[in-house]
Chains A and B, each alone.
Chain A
């Protein structure tokens, strides 16, 4: 069985997403453990119900509540994060040693991650509402103290190395667990990214998935005007990776590529995920301003109205 399969009884239990990869990596107790997470989300939703749209609503709500930026970057990856946490990540509990690992190498978009943790029942609404508050575990960038954050990030160019080490560890431990590293395109300005790219290819880490959020923007301009990285797919290919160019807003397509290629072949895999910066909120899309800018009330109302319309 390859790809996605919705299973489990309806009613008392929300639908259980059984994820089965080529390597028979099946999680049986995902749902049980998630529901036993103390004060976890009590609604009928679960990982299977996660959508990028749900994450976007949380991103907009929390950005407004906390008065912080990085909104466009988080919206850009909402579907990717939803795909990972809703459809592919095998993790019975946030600290289960044999869980799949996820590294948000573009740490500044952590709000998308928190939204996914909330949907998955790993954090409560009360915790979510501490985002960027004093003493919160939920900062602008993800901290390791928050269960579910496998590696703290925020300094661009480090996540792929962490993830590569994690993938190597899985191989040496003869585990089928996988490692997903979500990078920004501009992050590839960092030379260390290419060190990790070379190492992963050399060691044939086919359990490693890099997902490149190709939105063409960075803090101060468009990537083509700062350091032109095009053609991104050819570059990764030349470095020995198995390259898949995909619509970064198509959760199903991304999930299928991942499930089909987990621990398959003799190369690490990269999804060059074409995305729109600020996706889902018309006035943010492809606008540099929304890398840092927070929302005012009118902008918030407009954004929520637009997202509601997409429901």
Chain B
């Protein structure tokens, strides 16, 4: 996704001179296309994320569209108060791009995981929050949101190879994208883990369980109407996210269920506890946290059939 983001941003920058790209000294082997084409509009601010957001605020106030780039946690948490008091409070078009949502940085350990970024961003009114599921959706999402008013947070994956089947690069603010129909259960997924979720649905199909799979990439504005419409057709929903169980997709879906009074149970596949420091690659960690395709399929089966996972 980060490759698609950088490529699309470079294309947009060719048409729109307001676009600047600021990095907190990260993006080696990803941001070069932009940096080489627009050296004047590419600024490595150094390892200083607070200042990066502050500078972007100053640039945006003068009419630029600055994109600040770092690993999810350094892009969202370190400068969080700058984001709040800068682009959000002033309603300025700063774009915050965080790379490596979830546990994608695997062996790098817990300091590099992005497990609460969507939660902390989502609580702020006045910021658009987008969590694309694959490279194609990243491209569309960036094209459709790069010049909207106010700030945007993009939660990106590192992996540009995954293609979520049935998504076909679709994205709309305030909408969901259904990638597979199914009558037995609905599974919502956010971000790169949508790929695992699609695989989970395949596994279920083999056992005669048809799951509807829905990608939720527009977190803010939340796709309330779509969610209401879908949730009211099911008795059981599962949310899948490489994010803490609080604050992210599970919370969003549960809020809609509660507020609309929908008779649908929401079960969540999310990171339920603080990582204990045990390292591993993403598939290992997905397994550990109950987020792998097998884990999600087993959960669905248990919920529907009462069979222990």
Residue interface mask A169-209, B partner, CB < 8 A = 1: 11011000001000000000001100110110010000000
Query: Does A151 reach chain B (CB closer than 8 Å)?
Result: yes
**Contacts A165-B56, A165-B57 supplied; 10 other A-B pairs, CB < 8 Å:** A158-B82, A161-B55, A162-B54, A163-B58, A169-B63, A172-B40, A173-B62, A173-B63, A191-B50, A199-B45
Shortest B220–chain A CB gap in Å is 21
Find chain B residues with CB under 8 A from A155 CB: 81, 85
**A165 close to B85 (CB less than 8 A):** no
Query: Does B249 reach chain A (CB closer than 8 Å)?
Result: no
Cβ contact of A168, chosen from B58, B81, B82, B89, cutoff 8 A: B58
Q: In the assembly, what is the distance between CA of A165 and CA of B54, in Å?
A: 7
Find chain B residues with CB under 8 A from A162 CB: 54, 57-58, 61, 86
Residue interface mask A146-157, B partner, CB < 8 A = 1: 000011111101
Query: Does B7 reach chain A (CB closer than 8 Å)?
Result: no
**A161 close to B59 (CB less than 8 A):** no
Cβ contact of A164, chosen from B54, B81, B86, B90, cutoff 8 A: B54
**A144 close to B90 (CB less than 8 A):** yes
Cβ contact of A198, chosen from B46, B61, B63, cutoff 8 A: B46
Find chain A residues with CB under 8 A from B45 CB: 199
Number of interface residues of B (CB under 8 A): 25
**Nearest residue, chain A, Cβ from B47:** A195
Query: Does B245 reach chain A (CB closer than 8 Å)?
Result: no
Query: Does A166 reach chain B (CB closer than 8 Å)?
Result: yes
**A165 close to B59 (CB less than 8 A):** yes
**Nearest residue, chain B, Cβ from A166:** B58
**A192 close to B54 (CB less than 8 A):** yes
**B85 close to A152 (CB less than 8 A):** yes
Q: In the assembly, what is the distance between CA of A97 and CA of B90, in Å?
A: 15
**B51 close to A164 (CB less than 8 A):** yes
Query: Does A47 reach chain B (CB closer than 8 Å)?
Result: no
Query: Does B142 reach chain A (CB closer than 8 Å)?
Result: no
Find residues 92-110 in chain B having any chain A CB closer than 8 Å to their own CB.
Answer: none
Q: In the assembly, what is the distance between CA of A199 and CA of B90, in Å?
A: 22
Shortest A274–chain B CB gap in Å is 27
Find chain B residues with CB under 8 A from A165 CB: 54-62, 66
Cβ contact of A161, chosen from B53, B60, B64, B66, cutoff 8 A: B53
Q: List 23 A-B contacts (CB under 8 A).
A: A144-B89, A151-B58, A151-B90, A157-B50, A158-B54, A158-B81, A158-B82, A158-B85, A161-B53, A161-B55, A165-B56, A165-B61, A165-B66, A166-B58, A168-B55, A169-B58, A169-B59, A169-B62, A191-B50, A192-B50, A192-B54, A195-B48, A199-B45
**B50 close to A161 (CB less than 8 A):** yes
Most buried by A among B40, B66, B81, B86: B86
